[in-house]
Structure 1
Amino acid sequence: MASELLTEEQIEISGFGGIRERVLVMDPRQFGHYVREECWPGFGACVYLANAWFLPGGSTGLHSHEQIDIVSVMTRGELHHQGSIGDGEVLQAGQVQLQRSGAKGFRHNEQNPGADYPAMVQIWLLPQSHEGEACYQVIELKSGLTCVYGGEMFAASTRVDVLQLAAGDEWTLEDDALGYVFRGTAISANGQRLQRGDLFRLSGQSLSLTAESGFALVMIREA
């Protein structure tokens, strides 16, 4: 059973520019006194997590980031990327965009050129090192577990994975993790239901899940 649970109904819709979002994690290390009362603090190097969607024709506007790495899991639709790294790339559902700030940071603008409502889960992480060049990568998600930050990719104090299960698939999550469900529902061994929009924290225990439908979550763990 998840030690703690935060549901999307507990979070007000906010946003900026052409984006609407529910922000579930805001860490004082990054946001100071601007942290919203309903948000959870960070976990490991993770200082921000939001479920965001773009209005038709909307964009973030070109802006800068320094000393932060950004993982964006595309959950619906298509976005066009503009920026100092990866300029001209197109990001689609089933892909993950990784932008690492390196020593000098980066500028970016994510744009929705269409009339639909593309969506993403976005995570900010404090990098283990501020050295090297800023870099851009697109990662294709696969069934089961896909590492999208840290792990064997590069040295990081925190690892981020995306788990995708088909209906009936089973999986056991390790202890001490933060998880956000962005698709479907699953049932734990003791009958707890996790569903789209749920943020949960595990502490000192594991969690065995059986997917009721196509199920996907982002999992954040210490490396």
Structure 2
Amino acid sequence: MKTLNYSDLPLGGFAGLKEKRMVTDERIFGPHKHPKAFNGLGNFVYLADANFLPHGETGMHPHREIDVISVMVEGRISHAGSLEHGQSIETGYSQVQRAGGEGFAHNEINPDSSENQMIQLWVLPDNPGEPAGYQVFEPETGKLQHIYGGSVSQTERFYSKTSIAVANLQADQSISHPGEAMAYLSKGYGTLNGESVERRTLFRVDNAIEFTASEDAQLIVIYPTQIAGE
């Protein structure tokens, strides 16, 4: 198991937020990739752990041919833009935006007078030219909730050969996942594959993940999509 801690990387940011970029895949960032940051897995190419300043915002900006997944760790975000303008996501919620060939513009805003925490992930599309789309997932506590990826035939999530799942857990709750994966413990403490682990740590495993929370925790898992018949 390979690990990367939040403290291992320099603090950056832009506009109204500060962040550390834990995954900056060389396919996207090339020579600008920080040497300690991990490469992605499958079409997953980016993970940033961000704290928005009080009433901070990203500013309106566009995306095209990328899927943008935002997971709220603490606090809330008000979403503005060309997709579902006015939507709000709160602690534990996940927001998924598919840019496709159509593209979208958005601004994520902290409406509160205290800092929040949000994880943003990027996944390259399997196929170019898709229409833009938007989904929000309410947290399901105590389970590994699949929010992104799956076969083209299913309609619950945006299809992709790379999947993302989020576990919002209470103390002593456990989740498991078989096979190769990357995982980010965005909140809390616990035991992962027999080792004590702390928040804001990124993991890359070859075989399986077994995680038990010691307190309220959030674990994000990225893995190759399992599609029946393939």
- Structure 1 residue 150 and structure 2 residue 153: aligned? no
Cα distance change of structure 1 residues 75 and 160 upon mapping to structure 2, 3 Å threshold: same
Question: In the aligned structure 2, how far is the partner of 1:209 from the partner of 1:82?
Answer: 35
| Residue from 200, 213, 216 that aligns with 2:203 | 200
2:167 maps to 163
Instruction: Tell me the TM-score normalised to structure 1 length.
Output: 0.93
Question: How far 1:14 sits from its partner (Å)?
Answer: 0.6
Instruction: Tell me the TM-score normalised to structure 2 length.
Output: 0.90
Contact 2:148/2:159 (<8 A) preserved: no
Question: In the aligned structure 2, how far is the partner of 1:56 from the partner of 1:171?
Answer: 33
Question: In the aligned structure 2, how far is the partner of 1:170 from the partner of 1:119?
Answer: 23
Question: In the aligned structure 1, how far is the partner of 2:102 from the partner of 2:212?
Answer: 44
Question: In the aligned structure 2, how far is the partner of 1:9 from the partner of 1:112?
Answer: 24
Q: Counterpart of 1:12 in structure 2: which amino acid?
A: P
1:11 maps to 9
2:224 maps to 222
2:116 maps to 118
Q: Aligned residue pairs: how many?
A: 219
Contact 1:86/1:137 (<8 A) preserved: no
Local SS of the residue matching 1:115: coil
Question: How far 1:84 sits from its partner (Å)?
Answer: 1.0
User: Over aligned residues, Cα RMSD in angstroms?
Assistant: 1.4
- Work out the percentage of aligned pairs sharing the same amino acid: 35
1:75 maps to 73
Deviations 1:113-160 (A, max 9, x none): 321112111000001122332111111110211111113424211000
- Structure 1 residue 98 and structure 2 residue 96: aligned? yes
Question: How far 1:177 sits from its partner (Å)?
Answer: 0.2
1:174 maps to 178
Over 6 Å off, 4+ runs: none
1:212 maps to 214
Q: Counterpart of 2:139 in structure 1: which amino acid?
A: L
Contact 2:167/2:175 (<8 A) preserved: no
Question: In the aligned structure 2, how far is the partner of 1:177 from the partner of 1:160?
Answer: 10
Question: How far 1:106 sits from its partner (Å)?
Answer: 0.7
Deviations 1:33-72 (A, max 9, x none): 1111221111111110011011112111111111100000
